[in-house]
C-alpha cells in the first residue's frame, strides 16, 4: 500500500495500537483477520491522504545523457526496497502476497499510480485473493464499487507494468542457475572492473541510485558511468554482502577498506535470460538493519 518500509512499519504499529485499544468493538461478525485488515487498511488510507505517492527509481525525469554525472540527491518520496527476510518470516508462507510477484519492485512502482482505494481493492482482490464481498466489507464499499475499482486498477497496472514481467526469474532460479552470474557480478564490482561487469549486462539495462534523480538507460550509458564515475580511482573500494529484496537478488554495499567499510546502498539486481537487466542502488544506509546487515564490517 505505502511503498516504503519505514512507513509500513509505522502503519503496522499504529494498526496494532488501534486494534488493542478498540478490541472491545470486535463483535465476531467477521473473522478476526478481516477485522484487523479493516483497521490496517484504514490506517494506510489515512497515511496516503497525508503525502503524495512514492516515486519509482525511473520517474524523477528523463534518462541521463551519455556521460552525465549524477545530480545532487533530491528529497522526494522515493520507493523503498523491502527485505525478503521479513517475507520469509511470515507465519503463513503460502500466502499469495509472498508466493506471487506482487512484492516485485516494478509492481510496487506501478501500484503507486493508483488512487488509494483502487490500490487497496487491487491488493485485497489480486494479491491476497479475497472474495469481492469480503473486500467490500473491509473497505465499506458496495460490491459494484469494488468491481468497478478493480477493473480500473487492472487497466492502469497493465499500462504501467513492463511487458516482460511474466518472464522474470523466480527466487529459486536466482539461487541456482544465476549463482555464478551473481558471483561474477560481485567480483567485477569489487575489482572495479568495468569491462567484466559490462559483459554481464543486457543492451537495455537500466541503473538508478535514489535519492539521486539521475538514472541511466542502455548499455552505452551505464558503461560510461561505470568507467568514468563509479570506478574512478578516488571512489574507494566496495564490499558486497548478499541479501534479498522484493524477491530479487540484492546486496548490502559497503564503501571503505577493511574494518572502516560502512553502509552505502542496498543494491537490488534484476536478472532476465541470464543477464543483468537492472541495477537499483538505494542509497539509504538506515535500511541496513531491516535486512539483517551489519553497520560495519569490522
Q: State pLDDT tens for residues 77-113.
A: 999 999 988 876 555 544 544 444 677 888 899 999 9
CA–CA separation, 251 vs 239, rounded Å? 9
Sheet holding 275-282, edge to edge: 212-217, 201-209, 275-282, 262-272, 248-255, 238-245
Q: What is the pLDDT of residues 33-72, one digit of tens each?
A: 888 989 999 999 999 988 878 999 999 899 999 999 999 9
- CA separation (Å) from 257 to 56, 159, 254? 31, 45, 9
CA–CA separation, 244 vs 130, rounded Å? 27
* Region 19-39 average pLDDT: 85
Confidence of residue 178 (pLDDT cuts 50, 70, 90): confident
The CATH architecture annotation of domain 169-291 reads Roll (3.10)
pTM: 0.85
Can you give the residue ranges of every domain in the chain? 5-160, 169-291
Eight-class DSSP state of 200: T
Amino acid at each position: 500500500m505505502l511503498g516504503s518500509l519505514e512507513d509500513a512499519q509505522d502503519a503496522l504499529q499504529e494498526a496494532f495500537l488501534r486494534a488493542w485499544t478498540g478490541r472491545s468493538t470486535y463483535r465476531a461478525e467477521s473473522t478476526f483477520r478481516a477485522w484487523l485488515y479493516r483497521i490496517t487498511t484504514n490506517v494506510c488510507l489515512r497515511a496516503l491522504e497525508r503525502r503524495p505517492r512514492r516515486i519509482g527509481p525511473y520517474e524523477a525525469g528523463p534518462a541521463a545523457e551519455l556521460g552525465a554525472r549524477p545530480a545532487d540527491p533530491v528529497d522526494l518520496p522515493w520507493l523503498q526496497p523491502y527485505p525478503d527476510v521479513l517475507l520469509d518470516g511470515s507465519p503463513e508462507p503460502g500466502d499469495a502476497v509472498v508466493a506471487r510477484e506482487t512484492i516485485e519492485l516494478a509492481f510496487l512502482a506501478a501500484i503507486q499510480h493508483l488512487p488509494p482505494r483502487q490500490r487497496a481493492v487491487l491488493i485485497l482482490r489480486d494479491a491476497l485473493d479475497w472474495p469481492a464481498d469480503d473486500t467490500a466489507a473491509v473497505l465499506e464499499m458496495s460490491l459494484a464499487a469494488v468491481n468497478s475499482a478493480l477493473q480500473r486498477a487492472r487497466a492502469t497496472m497493465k499500462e504501467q507494468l513492463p511487458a516482460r514481467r511474466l518472464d522474470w526469474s523466480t527466487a529459486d532460479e536466482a539461487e541456482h542457475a544465476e549463482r555464478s552470474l551473481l558471483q561474477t557480478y560481485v567480483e567485477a564490482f569489487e575489482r572495479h572492473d568495468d569491462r567484466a561487469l559490462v559483459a554481464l549486462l543486457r543492451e537495455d539495462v537500466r541503473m538508478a541510485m535514489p535519492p539521486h534523480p539521475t538514472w541511466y538507460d542502455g548499455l552505452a550509458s551505464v558503461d560510461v558511468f561505470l568507467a568514468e564515475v563509479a570506478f574512478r580511482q578516488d571512489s574507494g573500494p566496495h564490499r558486497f554482502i548478499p541479501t534479498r529484496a522484493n524477491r530479487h537478488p540484492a546486496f548490502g554495499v559497503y564503501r571503505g577498506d577493511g574494518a572502516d567499510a560502512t553502509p552505502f546502498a542496498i543494491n537490488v539486481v534484476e536478472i532476465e535470460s541470464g543477464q543483468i537487466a537492472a541495477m537499483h542502488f538505494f542509497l539509504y544506509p538506515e535500511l541496513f538493519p531491516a535486512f539483517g546487515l551489519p553497520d560495519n564490517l569490522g
